[in-house]
Structure 1
């Protein structure tokens, strides 16, 4: 008899919550239902604002966490309508608003807004939360956490597979298919800068299918300047977020290059996202037989085209080609991590995060 878990994901794109209800039977897993709930404009604006210092942050963050828990609960309700029956636990990652591992005092921190006790009250289901801080405490980056799941779901013996999740930030998993360890790290910006620019100039939350970017021309000087950011030259393990790649970062580059057409800037940001992924893949796993793309970026046709152009010898495919649609992968990964926590199994890979060792991740809030 299998166990059902719910995984919830609200990522750095800050567009809403994806939830999946997953049945696990031994090592076999099947997504039984998927639900999405978009953030309303005020909620999204507040979550974005809390990524940078501001007035009365503690009060605002606490209320934003409560609101997020209510949104999570709505997604859980929708999933349970579709698939009635017992759920062992909900794994709720929270919304990252600061990510500074290893900095300041040698340990640093990663901070996700969440109200798991409230979520347990609202749903009557046990909640696994706080999935990153133990890895940070052990000297790791606390990110990315999905490579262990990618290995379990997409790994193949004797086949070098890479998986890139393109949310607000792009994170790459390298599955060499031999005796070498799995590796994974954040490449750099994914959708975050493109979404910001599209909202600023078109009033739209994202560039649907990359159509706006497709009509622009890459600005070589802007692209070269962006690629000189020190983050891209850092060796793994490494992780990043909106702390590093944000509107002020982009504005600083543009201030030195006035007069660029907004559509050309969008095309350049799309090329930047594709280029850093392709460069990292060629650098770290040149024998890759396929690159599987998940996250919202997989729905950006222009971005997928640019990725394929940058990797002419490597097929670039949606994760749906291997049985898991791109908007379900991260939520399924957190369901998998929640199950690992309840079973006392490690959910992290020290080779990925740089921690002193693999750790059981998460804190349990009983039903």
Structure 2
């Protein structure tokens, strides 16, 4: 194996649409470690444009093309900002792995597809670094869900031979990876993570998320509403399965609560309980034991973390800090790792996760 350290960058913007996360990672012999990271908040204008496209089923081609370019510029600027602050030359980076911004994910329709924007040509040109993007569609071409992609990364970095571990990512959508020693990881989307909570507090308090869970903590669980939410057919589906903003969004929630006089804070608290229960149900279904390691924005929600610990009394619940990766950058590091796999032309072992007919090399390389 080449003993010269190699540097990769990972770019991630998830369904929460809060920031562009950038992780600088180093491959050195057997290790792949994060060296630095930054989170660049989306400007209100760009965030609104992205939300508009995600929520509007008939956005014009002009709107789509414009935001595709603007988001790519924001990604490139985030990369250049991190390189400048870390005094790292672009020429020393092997590649950027860019997830892009998902605007529509539809794996179970008659014509299955997924669409991410953030023009990788622009990112490569503005940074002068090779950019790997479009990671999901080859998996879907082989009949897979195209999501989640992170379990293979979790397996590569976090698996331990004599332990079962569950890696829980709580972004806008929540997903689990079940790691059993050297076996290939198994995982899928459990359902909403922060997405509905973020949408509800934004509607009532114009905040992008419930910092410190102050809004949820002021309310009480409404059990009739909770039962209604839990009855959605998605939760009865067997894996492989994936979901997104197309399914769980503010319109979906408003339909569930129409003609009911719920207190806004009670809805917020119920949404948090809904997220916790749907996660815990799937963890208990898929694994007999094993500690849980949480990453994503949900790891910073104290009430949500408390509920997970309470609902999983026989397990230890940590954040991925215990595994030496900042929970806010795990997905960005994952896409740096996926970029490395593409540059090395390695197949990513995901068919057990996504249901694809075969493992495949994922991503396309855009050279500056």
Tell me if structure 1 keeps the 8 A contact 2:53–2:59: no
Looking at structure 1, the residues matched to 26 and 60 of structure 2 have their Cα atoms a distance apart, in angstroms, of: 39
Looking at structure 2, the residues matched to 214 and 323 of structure 1 have their Cα atoms a distance apart, in angstroms, of: 30
Give 4+ residue runs of structure 1 displaced > 6 Å after superposition.
none
Looking at structure 1, the residues matched to 108 and 229 of structure 2 have their Cα atoms a distance apart, in angstroms, of: 24
Tell me if structure 1 keeps the 8 A contact 2:351–2:357: yes
Looking at structure 1, the residues matched to 30 and 274 of structure 2 have their Cα atoms a distance apart, in angstroms, of: 37
State the match for 1:40 in structure 2. Answer: 43
Tell me if structure 1 keeps the 8 A contact 2:159–2:182: no
State the match for 1:150 in structure 2. Answer: 154
> Scaled by the length of structure 1, what TM-score is found?
0.96
Q: 1:94 aligns with which of 96, 100, 111?
A: 100
| Structure 2 SS opposite 1:88 | strand
RMSD: 1.2
Q: 1:165 aligns with which of 166, 169, 173?
A: 169
Render the CA deviation track for 1:8-57: whole Å, top value 9, x for unaligned. 00000000100011011233012111011101111111111111335542
| TM-aligned CA deviation for residue 79 of structure 1 | 1.8
Unpaired segments of 5 or more residues in structure 2? none
> How many correspondences in the alignment?
362
State the match for 2:364 in structure 1. Answer: 363
| Higher alpha-carbon deviation: 320-329 or 82-91 | 82-91
Tell me if structure 2 keeps the 8 A contact 1:20–1:32: yes
Matched, 1:129 2:128: no
Looking at structure 2, the residues matched to 266 and 361 of structure 1 have their Cα atoms a distance apart, in angstroms, of: 38
> Scaled by the length of structure 2, what TM-score is found?
0.96
Unpaired segments of 5 or more residues in structure 1? none
**Aligned positions of 1:75-224 closer than 5 A:** 75-81=78-84, 82-85=86-89, 86-105=92-111, 108-177=112-181, 179=183, 181-224=184-227
**Aligned positions of 1:1-367 closer than 5 A:** 1-54=4-57, 56-81=59-84, 82-85=86-89, 86-105=92-111, 108-177=112-181, 179=183, 181-256=184-259, 258-288=260-290, 290-367=291-368
Looking at structure 2, the residues matched to 94 and 292 of structure 1 have their Cα atoms a distance apart, in angstroms, of: 25
Looking at structure 2, the residues matched to 301 and 177 of structure 1 have their Cα atoms a distance apart, in angstroms, of: 30
CA gap 1:56/1:241 in 2 versus in 1, 3 angstroms: closer
| Structure 2 SS opposite 1:292 | strand
Looking at structure 2, the residues matched to 195 and 273 of structure 1 have their Cα atoms a distance apart, in angstroms, of: 12
Tell me if structure 2 keeps the 8 A contact 1:102–1:136: no
